[in-house]
Amino acid sequence: MNKKTIKRFSVIALSLFCLNTVNVKADTDPYNTWWNAEVNAEKESQNVIENYDDFTKAVNAEEGINVEAKSAILMEPTTGKILYEKNIDEKYAPASVTKVMTMLLTMENIDSGKITLQDKVTCSENAKNMGGSTMLLDTGEIRTVEELLKGVAIASGNDAAVALAEFLGGTEDAFAEMMNKRAQELGMTNTTFKNCNGLPAVGHESTARDIAKMSLELLKHPTILKYTGTYMETISEGRKSPIELVNHNKLVRFFEGCDGLKTGFTDEAKYCITATATKNKVRMLSVIMGAPTFKIRNRDASMLMNYGFSKYEGRKLLAKDEDVETIYMSKQTDRFFIAKAKEDLVVVLPKGTTGELEKRVVIEELQKEYKSGDVVGKCEVYLGEDKVGEVQLYSDRDIKKGNILDNFKYNVRNLFKKGI
């Protein structure tokens, strides 16, 4: 065999060896890589599911939710269902979000008839000297309850909050006791108020869950939204220089449907907000605590509310003043009234809900007489065992229970009808 033949044979042998080597590598490595990746992914998935906090984070990441604030909650107000949560029971300084309770106690006193929006309040020197955010009240200045509410809701006025506190409680300390009492009634077990405006004080603290609770209660007084949802207001009556109020809650201007509720900031608390908005008959409520900047606070609140709107829809079941049920004054009478819906009844449901909705009419203990417009009970709506909506019912007429003679006549008529 000559050298030329040997050289050719060597080249062929080397080529076959290299080809076999490549084939073996192609057959094994990708398979092993894929298999290991699948096994590792399955293990990671199992670990995620076993750890609830990590699972929540995974779901939130999938939904695009990444809240930077220390604490946050998203709630659907009709049912109180929590749609998102982050450290919602951790205590933090609430700053001016405290004023939600100040507004709540004021609105409860107004709606119960104890005070009116037009009642006059004299501003004390203590109120004037509060510092921080202010509506520029002077000592001895007289303002209406409504004007002070605007000062609190729009300009976050510490002076306005103290003026209302002193008007309702006598002193700010006494009013703080009222705040704490109401907080306990609402189940705000992790909240302690030291003042009415949220200025820094040792032990003045709350949580995202508790702030959501008092915010939901404030939403039961819809008049407040006329003020919290106002971006700019001027109060000029009785002043040489008008008071220009600009809402600290910029979402009122820049987030569609936002009509409240309250912002807050101190060096300790950082940036806080309880924000609410409506869209397509659905209301959402988000609370943000401890955001590093106001932009992050507003972004986090907006992101949560948009998430809620993407998951829920509103369905109108009853129109305002619609007949709901005929209510007889007793079993032995033909006297009755029509229970009518006081407002539109809109239920908020997860999008795509197909379950059957059940209406339940709940009438309070029947009175001896009703005037037209008197509230007589409510109509509740359930999806399974979950209540998803309710509306108050009122009497459509003046009506009295029959006396013994009326009931006797009714029984006699019925007796003859049965006989015939």
Catalytic residue among 86, 99, 270, 279: 99
E strand or H helix that includes residue 294: helix 294-311
Angle at 413 between CA 412 and CA 414, to 5 degrees: 90
CA within 13 Å, CB half, 2: 1
Strand partners for 272: 264
Could you give phi then psi for residue 277, rounded to 5 degrees? -155, 160
Give me the residue label for tokens 């705000």.
188
Nearest CA to 391 out of 312, 301, 316 is that of 316
133 among known catalytic residues: no
Q: What count of other Cβ atoms lies within 10 Å of the Cβ of residue 334?
A: 13
In the numeric block, which tokens belong to residue 356?
A: 């059957």
In the numeric block, which tokens belong to residue 390?
A: 């309710």
- Known binding residue 81? Answer is no
SS3 state of residue 305? helix
96 among known catalytic residues: yes
Catalytic residue among 70, 71, 86, 96: 96
Residues listed for the chain:
420
99 among known catalytic residues: yes
Burial bucket for residue 298 (CB in 10 Å: 0-12, 13-18, 19+): buried
d(CA 83, CA 86): 11
Helix and strand element counts for the chain (H, E): 12, 18
Query: Which residues touch 259 (CB under 8 Å, ≥6 apart)?
Result: 225, 228, 229, 252, 276, 277, 278
Catalytic residue among 71, 124, 156, 206: 156
Whole-Å CA distances, 119 to 155, 268, 342: 20, 36, 28
Q: Give the residue ranges of the annotated binding site.
A: 262
Q: Give the residue ranges of the annotated binding site for substrate.
A: 262
Catalytic residues: 96, 99, 156
